[in-house]
Structure 1
């Protein structure tokens, strides 16, 4: 269930392996954050590789390091027209205090063979054309895609492999029956399956008890300028890397289709209503790129990402025949794609390991109040970000 990156890559993998596959989505493929994210293809997890080795083992670290490779290999193999650019990912910093941590992270990935390097202020200025960066590092495994085009390309590939995809299919119940699982839909339709994969991430509802309360659905808001004129295009992100800064409440940006400068960041928990809801992110764009900020804003949009308490994704199998994966914490293009591949391979052959140990479903206390306490936490993080040098 869920026709985002996880569900679609799992469906493609299963269909290619000879399974009979049906994908259902409440709206349509790519409707959620899979189609409305910033298009940044970032390898790794939030934790550094040494930590991943210690807590999960080297296989998990290798999985995390290869997630971007998987995305670009799928695009090449399937011929998906989604503006793929492998210009690298830059983790930039406006804080001197953050640089030792970034250098340690870079060195850990370098020790594992990744094409990475530190960037000093001059290197950051040349690579980004932006103001205020005191340093950072670049991971050349990363890049960008047009996320909705990528999702639709995955959907076409899954269909060609023999999967069926149904849109406007809201699942409202799941129970055992007929030797498997019976899904009930708002339309009154019923579907019986031996295996069910629930991959709804930031749009998770109440279908499975407690699952919704394991993540905080946060709006990631974004803007895109009018196409940059040639002089700015030559200076702003000339190699087309994707960039995110190292603050707790980070901004991220890249050059998008038609040469537009795109910037995103954390928004309110309610859905944006008008241009006023994007003022903070437009102010951030102006601080980094004042010349580009004078251009009209061509687009404003939002998508709901799923944040977890430990900043890690989770895989649950609460009952035989049911697998769930969610909580990509803003790295969903690469991570969700790789998770879908791993789940599909595991369901075809249990000897294929899952990339993370299974975890129990642990709802957050008073989850219904998350807009209040998460907003308070975000504002506290903003204050800490401002106080650091």
Structure 2
């Protein structure tokens, strides 16, 4: 059995989960992938009365769902809301905007409904502007989200200074529906909720392939067993092995490194996050931070050069935290870990029809908690028979990215360009 990665969430998890072991003889829906997307889809399907089985290749939490920073952000990371309507048309664009904008509420509502203990804190999410141009953009964006009924407002320079103690920021967008969670405890809580509603969840149970048989499917497990299913959902993020190989090749995998420091003193924590809101700014090489329940400072970043990146980037991220937040001392690193995010070419989530009664979903683009809540729900709707035109996330043709194996090189080049852009912008300001 593969050794689990040492993450902050593995060290501090309070939840537990007992996987199923008895394979059913037949199920309505087989779900490949036991991350946020797959388990959320399973949750909604089980509540709708469908027999559901989730198959996770490794232990729950060994994919991106257990290796992120726990930000719950109901927004797009790399796509402007106006551009969404320009690309999809007003009707489809409006549907997607409303769906994505409600993502954080969907997460916290489910947590409350199922009593999941995961340090859930719906304190809001701060998106500070590093330049005056960014501030004007965020002011317009906040107004746009308000017209859609979202609890989003714009903070001026003095207000964001009080929220972060950082003088660099010119203003900020605040979405009061955002917040933070302990992602592994949330994931384990989702799995338990699926079981409570009659579904099954199997871990260390990879799927090698799925084959069309008659009016349904036969799911072939890597251990040689198989079972029939009426429908199949592929929820495997950026993975490219086994049954996931086709879906994984439609996105660019971005390896992200996360760092947690030793706990900060209460005075420093109150200075940099008085309302305990997570922060993610507008710089190309964005700066993020949040606190956990014990005042550990959590941040992340990507490496332009992957060799030795974990140790090197851990030091770099902590040094940046100390510098940006004017910490009295460079905090001691507690743990560094890494995960992979899937980025689609147009930075939008999408679902794919991969056969009769078979669907796949991908494209959280760095918004993997709130977006997966909506992606999983949409996939469940597709299985339950909602017409394609009425699905809030667009159904797209599945296309492999050319030279997919080289995409990490392109991502590294993009990161270098982003850092240069930030440096040049900073020098002008």
CA RMSD of aligned residues (A): 2.0
Residues 349/136 of structure 1: CA separation in 2 closer, same or farther (3 Å cut): same
The residue that corresponds to 2:21 in the other structure is: none
The residue that corresponds to 1:9 in the other structure is: 40
Q: How does 1:117-128 map to 2 (within 5 A)?
A: 117-128=153-164
The residue that corresponds to 1:375 in the other structure is: 412
Q: Which 10-residue stretch deviates more, 310-319 or 198-207? A: 198-207
Residues 22/152 of structure 1: CA separation in 2 closer, same or farther (3 Å cut): same
Residues 23/270 of structure 1: CA separation in 2 closer, same or farther (3 Å cut): farther
Q: How does 1:280-359 map to 2 (within 5 A)?
A: 280-291=316-327, 294-350=330-386, 353-359=390-396
**How many residues in Structure 1 have an aligned counterpart in Structure 2?**
389
Kindly provide the CA deviation profile for residues 54-81 of structure 1, in whole angstroms up to 9, marking residues without a partner as x: 4233222211111111001001000000
CA contact (8 A) 1:219 1:269 kept: no
Structure 2: runs of 5 or more not aligned: 1-31
The residue that corresponds to 2:256 in the other structure is: 220
2:177 paired with 1:141 = yes
The residue that corresponds to 2:193 in the other structure is: 157
CA distance in 1, matches of 2:303, 2:47: 39
CA contact (8 A) 2:210 2:243 kept: yes
The secondary structure found in structure 2 opposite 1:317 is strand
Residues 98/221 of structure 1: CA separation in 2 closer, same or farther (3 Å cut): same
2:238 paired with 1:202 = yes
The secondary structure found in structure 1 opposite 2:327 is helix
CA distance in 1, matches of 2:266, 2:383: 50
Q: How does 1:63-82 map to 2 (within 5 A)?
A: 63-82=99-118
Residue 155 of structure 1: how far off its partner (Å): 0.4
Residues 296/130 of structure 1: CA separation in 2 closer, same or farther (3 Å cut): same
Structure 1: runs of 5 or more not aligned: none
Residues 212/292 of structure 1: CA separation in 2 closer, same or farther (3 Å cut): farther
TM-score normalized with structure 1 length: 0.94
CA distance in 1, matches of 2:270, 2:411: 39
Kindly provide the CA deviation profile for residues 31-53 of structure 1, in whole angstroms up to 9, marking residues without a partner as x: 21111111111112343433334
Kindly provide the CA deviation profile for residues 82-139 of structure 1, in whole angstroms up to 9, marking residues without a partner as x: 0111111111122223222111111111222222222222211111233522222211
CA contact (8 A) 1:95 1:134 kept: yes
TM-score normalized with structure 2 length: 0.86
Residues 178/167 of structure 1: CA separation in 2 closer, same or farther (3 Å cut): farther
Residue 293 of structure 1: how far off its partner (Å): 5.3
2:321 paired with 1:256 = no
The residue that corresponds to 2:73 in the other structure is: 42
The residue that corresponds to 2:165 in the other structure is: 129
Residues 123/272 of structure 1: CA separation in 2 closer, same or farther (3 Å cut): farther
